Amino acid sequence: MKAIRYSPWVMHFNAGACNGCDIEVLAALTPFFDPERLGVKLAPNPRHADIIIVTGALNKKAAERLRRLYDQTPSPKFVIACGACAISGGVFSGSYPLFSRADSVVPVDVYVPGCPPRPEAVIYGIKKLLDRVGEHGGD
Amino acid sequence: MVIVEIPIGPQHPALHEPIMLKVRTEGEEVVEVSVNTGYNHRGIEKLLEKNSWVRGMYISGRVCGICNAVHMQTYVQGVEKLMGVEPPPRANYIRTLVMELERIHSHMLVAAVMAEIIGFDTLFMLLMRDRERVMYLKELVTGNRVHADIHMLGGVKRDLDEVRRDRILSELKIVEERIKYYMKVFEEDYTIMKRLSEVGVIRKSEALRLSIVGPTLRASGIKSDVRSDDPYAAYSEIPFNVVSRDEGDSWARMMVRFGEALESVSIARYTVEKLPQGPAIPKTIPRATKPGEVISRVEAPRGELLYHIVSVGGANPYRVKIRTPSFLNILNTEKVYIGHRLADVPVIFASYDPCISCTERVMVIDEKSGKKTYVSMRDLARVRVG
C-alpha cells in the first residue's frame, strides 16, 4: 500500500470514448502538467498497474474487456471514472449499444466530471485518491 | 515455418484507442493482418435521429474528440443548407480559425504518438509540451480546451476581441518555430529515418484504388484536398498550398502532416489578421427544416469527412449518415502490412493517424452481412454482469 501511495502506476482504458478524455488523460501525463512529481507514471500493462482510469461511455463489448482487465490487475487496485460518459453515459446515455455506467462493471473509487475534464482535474482526482489511500490504508 | 497469430489490442501500449489488429506472422514477417473493431461503438447515427437539430450539433461534435470542430462544421453547414441560413463572413472566419487550430494540434499529436511508438520518448514529451500552446490558443478562442462547441446554426457562439487577437498572433509565432524545429528533427534524425522510410509504402495507383483520403493520400503524390477542391467556410478567400509528397511511405505521411501544420499556422494567422467586421453571433436559432437532403464535405485533419443528412421536415433529422476518413484509411490498408516485420505494424498503423472513435460508428452499418459482424455481434450479445 505504501508503494502505491508514493508511486502509483496508471493504466488508461478507453471504453468507448470520443477521444476527448483520452487526449486529456494523455496530456495530464506529460511534462506541462508533470504528474511525475506525485510519482504517477503510465503503465503499459494491467499487470503493472495500480490505478485504472476508465474513460468513455461503456459499450457492451468494452464492458467485458474492462472487467477482464480489472481482474488481471493485481490487488490493491483502484479505479477512476474520468469524464461525463464514464460516470453516467453523458450525451450518449440512452443509446442502444451502451452497457451502463462504469461503476456497474467495476467498483469506482473516484469520479472526475467534465466533458472532457481538464488535465488539472485528472491530476486532482489522482491526488484525492492517493490522500484517501494514505488516510484509510485503502479498501 | 509455423504461423503465429498475435493479437495487438484492444488494450495495448502502442495503441491509445481500442481496436484489435490480429497479426499473423511467420517468424518475424507479417503474412496477414485483420482489423477487428466494435470496442468503441456508441450508436451516434441513431442518437442523431432521436434528437433535435440543435442537440444533434453537440452529438456530432462528440463523434471524435480530436476533430470535433470539423464534425460540427460538417453537420452545421449541411443543416444550414437545409434551413436556408447563411452564416455571416465573420462567423466563417472564426470557424476556420478553430478548425485550423484543431488541425495543428491533431498533427502534433500524431507526431508525438509516432515518436512514442518508435521509442523516442523525449520527442514525445517535447511535442506534447508544445502542443499545450495550441490547446491554450483553442481555449482562448472557444473557451474550451478539447470540445470547441463554437458552432451554432447561423453563426458562432463567441466573438473574438482585439486583446485575444494579439495574444493569438504572438502565440502562433512560437508554435510555428517549434513545428519547424520538429519537422527538422523528423527530416534529419537517423533513427526516425531508419524506422519510418520505406515502411508501409502505398503507391499512387494503389492509393486511388483503395480510396485512401487525407494526408495519407497526399503522401502518395495525389493533390486532393476538400479545402481547395470544394471550398467551405472561409477557405475560398484564403490563400494556401496543398502539401503533397511522392514517396508514399510512413515518413512521407509524417512530413505531409508537418507541412500542413505550417500551412495551418499561416491560415490561422490570415483569419485573425483579416477578420471581417460585422456580427458573428446569430440572434435567433432556427428550429425546423424543409424536407430535403444534403451532402456536406469537409477536410478533417485525417481526410475527407462526409455527412449525408436527410430531412422530412420537422424538428429531427430523418437520417444522418457519416463517412469518416479513418474508416477508409484503416480498413482498406490491411494489405500494406504484409511483408513487413512485426515491429513495423504499430508504425504503419500510427502513420495513418487512426481515429477509432470516428471509425466505430460506421462499422456496424456497413458490415451487416459480413462475417466480421457475426463475431462482434456475438461479443455484443454476451453481456456480463460484473
Q: What is the dihedral of CA B77, B78, B83, B87, to 10 degrees?
A: 10
3-class DSSP state of A111: strand
Is the CB of A60 less than 8 angstroms away from the CB of B386? no
Q: Are strands A41-42 and A9-14 parallel, antiparallel or unpaired?
A: parallel
pLDDT tens per residue across all 386 residues of chain B: 788 888 776 776 556 677 778 888 888 888 888 887 777 788 888 889 999 999 999 999 988 888 899 999 999 999 999 999 999 999 999 999 999 999 999 999 999 989 988 888 899 989 999 999 999 999 999 998 889 889 999 899 999 988 889 999 999 999 999 999 999 999 999 989 988 988 889 999 999 998 899 999 999 999 999 999 999 989 999 999 999 999 889 999 999 999 999 999 999 999 999 999 999 999 988 888 889 999 999 999 999 999 999 999 888 999 999 988 888 888 888 888 888 888 888 888 888 887 777 665 444 333 333 333 333 333 333 333 22
Which amino acid, residue B84? Answer: G
Percent helix, percent strand, percent coil in chain B, to nearest 5? 50, 15, 35
- Residue A5 or residue A30, greater confidence: A30
CB of B136 less than 8 A from some CB of A = no
CB contacts of A61 in chain B (<8 Å) are: 38-39, 41, 376, 379-380
Helices marked H in B274-370: 325-331, 344-351, 356-366
Closest CA to B148 of B96, B200, B113: B96
A2: confidence class by pLDDT, cuts 50, 70, 90:
low
The CATH number of residue A127's host domain is 3.40.50.12280
CB of B378 less than 8 A from some CB of A = no
A45-66 tens-digit pLDDT = 888 889 999 988 888 888 888 8
Q: Which residue of A has its CA nearest to B149?
A: A115
The shortest C-alpha distance from A43 to chain B (Å) reads 8
Instruction: Write the DSSP assignment of B120-182 as a string of letters.
Output: -HHHHHHHHHHHHHHHHHHHHHHS-SS----EETTEES----HHHHHHHHHHHHHHHHHHHHH
The shortest C-alpha distance from B246 to chain A (Å) reads 31
The shortest C-alpha distance from A125 to chain B (Å) reads 18
Number of Cβ within a 10 Å radius of residue B6: 12
What would the grid cell of residue B343 be? 515491429
Is the CB of A92 less than 8 angstroms away from the CB of B47? yes
CB-closest option in B44, B135, B380 to A61: B380
CB-closest option in A22, A69, A104 to B17: A22
CB contacts of B43 in chain A (<8 Å) are: 92, 95-98
CB-closest option in A21, A23, A63 to B109: A23
| Domain regions of chain B by residue span | 3-40+326-381, 44-323
The shortest C-alpha distance from A37 to chain B (Å) reads 15
Which of A11, A23, A67 is best to mutate for the B interface (most B CBs within 10 A)? A23
Cβ neighbors of B237 (< 8 A, separation 6 or more) are: none
Hey, what CATH topology would domain B44-323 get?
Cytochrome-c3 Hydrogenase; chain B (1.10.645)
Closest CA to B270 of B238, B222, B228, B313: B238
Interface of B with A in 142-201 (CB under 8 A): 145-147
Instruction: Write the DSSP assignment of B203-245 as a string of letters.
Output: -HHHHHHTT--THHHHTTT----HHHHS--TTGGGS--PPP--
Which of B40, B113, B126 is best to mutate for the A interface (most A CBs within 10 A)? B40
Closest CA to A84 of A8, A24, A10, A2: A24
CB contacts of A15 in chain B (<8 Å) are: 18, 39
CA dist B354 and B326 (Å) reads 6
What would the grid cell of residue B170 be? 504572438
Closest CA to A17 of A69, A61, A70, A54: A54
CB-closest option in B40, B147, B386 to A16: B40
In chain A, the number of structural domains is 1
Number of cross-chain residue pairs from A and B with Cβ atoms under 8 Å apart? 138
pLDDT recorded at residue B373 = 34
The shortest C-alpha distance from A44 to chain B (Å) reads 5
Q: What is the 3-state secondary structure (H, E, C) of A28-96?
A: HCCCCCCHHHHCCEECCCHHHCCEEEEECCEEHHHHHHHHHHHHHCCCCCEEEEECHHHHHCHHHCCCC
Which of B146, B360, B385 is best to mutate for the A interface (most A CBs within 10 A)? B146
CB contacts of B47 in chain A (<8 Å) are: 91-92, 94-95
Q: Which residue of A has its CA nearest to B133?
A: A32
Is the CB of B131 less than 8 angstroms away from the CB of A27? yes
Is the CB of B379 less than 8 angstroms away from the CB of A64? yes
CB of B62 less than 8 A from some CB of A = yes
Is the CB of A59 less than 8 angstroms away from the CB of B41? yes
Q: Is the interface score ipTM higher than 0.90?
A: no
CB-closest option in A16, A45, A69 to B42: A16
Tell me which DSSP letter residue B284 carries.
Answer: S
CA quadruple B205, B305, A21, B364: dihedral sign: negative
CB of B3 less than 8 A from some CB of A = no
CA dist A105 and B48 (Å) reads 27
Q: Is the pLDDT assigned to residue A4 strictly greater than 90?
A: no
